[in-house]
Amino acid sequence: ASALQISRWEKKMKKNSQDVTRDVRVRSRAGFETERRGSHPYIDFRIFHSNSEIEVSVSARNVRRLLSFQRYLRSSRFFRGITVPNSSNILDDDYNGQAKCMLEKVGNWNFDIFLFDRLTNGNSLVSLTFHLFNLHGLIEHFQLDTMKLRRFLVMVQEDYHSQNPYHNAVHAADVTQAMHCYLKEPKLSKSLTPWDVLLSLIAAATHDLDHPGVNQPFLIKTNHYLATLYKNTSVLENHHWRSAVGLLRESGLFAHMSLENRQLMESQIGDLILATDISQQNEYLSMFRSHLDRGDLCLENANHRHFILQMALKCADICNPCRTWELSKQWSEKVTEEFFHQGDIEKKYHLGVSPLCDRQTETIANIQIGFMTYLVEPLFGEWARFSNTRLSQTMLGHLGLNKASWKGVQREQSGSGDDVDPAFEEMDSDILPQEPRLS
């Protein structure tokens, strides 16, 4: 039986490796040059970009990545030299000083990721994640090469598409900061191993890697090769995971580890990222609720810890309504803008507009109230049962206030505060798997 299990595990790892290669080294049917990644802006359905725009986009991304890494080299204590002061240096120093002050409060739930992104000149994901690796002692514990770590994070940041209003590197940084807050919670902090923390931060930083700015149904109905590759199941999440694995291998960050440990890491990161598939929300929530009802969660058990980390990442992924109104409102506007952009494309090409994506019939208030009612409140209610702390109560408090604020907006717009988006009302049926991802 043991030999059979090993054989099955080896086959699974081999398949995962093949999928990574097929995903990140695929040649587009549209005839574009082979690239390391496969999705937007290299989407086969030529909607978003012309060939010339794609060439410019690829070149620009490569230049930005190089410049971002060079900026790190210039600012690194290993490469710092004597420079002649000028106004721009003074301004940079001032911004860097403010960014460092913010990082001292990185565990504060009111952390303003938008301000931090401005202070770091658009490098919030790199700066924040590198700081958290240091803060948690991961660099020393796993003997990580800081240059390789920085290069890996730069590649991750550059593989998010800045043209996406919502699914971009700032969202990834926000989720990573939220994950850090959850890792600090008493139940977790005293139970988690450095390995658990490492997986959690990598998964959080890469959970939407190379997101195309459209949802799974869009990829399916446009016959995108990723939908075919992953058989229309967790298409985006599988792609995010395989893209993350590709960058881990390319960076050589964990090349000093054994092959077995690297494969285990890749598999467990996949488990975490796949848990963010919103169409699987009811399944994970039901398991979580059952564990809490039975009171059988034991964080000394590695499998139980891993499950809790899956739930933590799910919470981090959709925690926007649990932030302060000033932050939450910005996220609500950004995700709705992305939805409506997809709807505009679907209208233009007569594809049938996806739920929540029609700017003529939907409103931010209706979408957010439905989102909070059917997805956020149930999840964070159970999380508060598991971890009944000040942070949990703060999140639920913000959630209640934000929902009330959106209901106020809704009343002003429609004269009624009882409308809930029909797409969310039907979530208990079979509509949920076809909904646009909200994370």
DSSP state of 162: T
List the CATH number of the domain containing 324: 1.10.1300.10
Quick one: pLDDT band at residue 14, thresholds 50, 70, 90? Answer: low
Q: How far apart are CA 415 and CA 298, in angstroms?
A: 49
207 is in an annotated binding site: yes
Domain boundary among 273, 296, 313: 313
My answer on whether 256 and 380 are in the same domain is no
DSSP state of 7: H
224 is in an annotated binding site: no
Residue 372's domain spans which residues? Answer: 318-439
Average pLDDT over residues 23-42: 39
Number of domains in the chain: 2
Lowest-confidence region among 53-57, 87-91, 278-282, 395-399: 87-91
Residue 293 lies in a domain: yes
More confident residue, 200 or 28: 200
My answer on whether 373 and 426 are in the same domain is yes
Domain boundary among 313, 348, 369: 313
My answer on whether 284 and 337 are in the same domain is no
Alpha-carbon distance values, 156 to 50, 62, 80, 161 (Å): 25, 12, 25, 10
Q: Count the residues in the chain.
A: 439
Rg of the chain over Cα atoms, rounded to whole angstroms, equals: 22
Q: What is the largest CA-CA distance in the chain?
A: 69
Residue 432 lies in a domain: yes
My answer on whether 111 and 13 are in the same domain is yes
Domain boundary among 313, 340, 373: 313
**Res. 432: pLDDT tops 70:** no
Q: How far apart are CA 125 and CA 177, in angstroms?
A: 9
**Res. 60: pLDDT tops 80:** no
99 is in an annotated binding site: no
Residue 434 lies in a domain: yes
Residue 217 lies in a domain: no
Alpha helices (H) in 165-224, listed in sequence order: 169-183, 186-189, 194-206, 216-221
368 is in an annotated binding site: yes
268 is in an annotated binding site: no
114: which residues sit within 8 A by CB, 6+ positions away?
170, 327, 330
DSSP string, 253-307: TTTTS-HHHHHHHHHHHHHHHHTT-GGGHHHHHHHHHHHHHHT---TTSHHHHHH
Residue 286 lies in a domain: yes
Average pLDDT over residues 422-437: 48
211 is in an annotated binding site: no
Residue 287 lies in a domain: yes
208 is in an annotated binding site: yes
Q: Is 167 a catalytic residue?
A: yes
My answer on whether 152 and 259 are in the same domain is yes
Condensed to tens digits (0 to 9), the pLDDT of residues 260-288 reads: 999 999 999 999 999 999 999 999 999 99
pLDDT score recorded for residue 75: 43
My answer on whether 292 and 411 are in the same domain is no
320 is in an annotated binding site: no
My answer on whether 138 and 255 are in the same domain is yes
Q: Could you say which of 40, 136, 167, 341 is catalytic?
A: 167
Quick one: pLDDT band at residue 95, thresholds 50, 70, 90? Answer: confident
Residue 7 lies in a domain: yes
Query: Six-digit token pair at 175?
Result: 């989720």
My answer on whether 109 and 37 are in the same domain is yes
DSSP state of 32: P
My answer on whether 377 and 228 are in the same domain is no
Residue 324 lies in a domain: yes
My answer on whether 153 and 191 are in the same domain is yes
Condensed to tens digits (0 to 9), the pLDDT of residues 322-364 reads: 999 999 999 999 999 999 999 999 999 999 999 999 999 999 9
pTM: 0.83
169 is in an annotated binding site: yes
My answer on whether 188 and 305 are in the same domain is yes
My answer on whether 287 and 360 are in the same domain is no
